[in-house]
Amino acid sequence: MPERVSVLADQLDATQRVLAKHSIDARAEIQALVLDDAALEEREARRQAMLERMFYLVRKEAAEAAGKETTESYFAALDAIAER
């Protein structure tokens, strides 16, 4: 992940430098940008979705515990299906 973050930061930096060559001061415009509610919601939804993906495995543990899913119950289900 640090590698991807580093690449993204370099890409953003490169974008701003290219825009500056075309007389667009993106850094200043980004600094002055005020996010409206729609933009705030879009960003927050993206962050929450990313966190859900990051914590997918650990959340799966809790979902299995909530569903009382165990190794024994899985094998029992296999046996039951094999017998039918």
- DSSP-based three-state secondary structure for 72: helix
- If 0-12 CB within 10 Å is exposed, 13-18 middle and 19+ buried, where does residue 55 land? exposed
Which residue, 57 or 81, has its beta carbon nearer to another protein?
57
Which residue, 15 or 48, has its beta carbon nearer to another protein?
48
Question: Rg (Cα) of the chain, in Å, rounded?
Answer: 24
The CB-of-31 to another protein minimum distance in angstroms stands at 6
Identify residue 42 by its one-letter amino acid code: E
The CB-of-66 to another protein minimum distance in angstroms stands at 4
Chain contacts with another protein (rule: CB under 8 A): 30-31, 33, 37, 40-41, 43-45, 47-48, 51-52, 55, 58-59, 61-66, 68
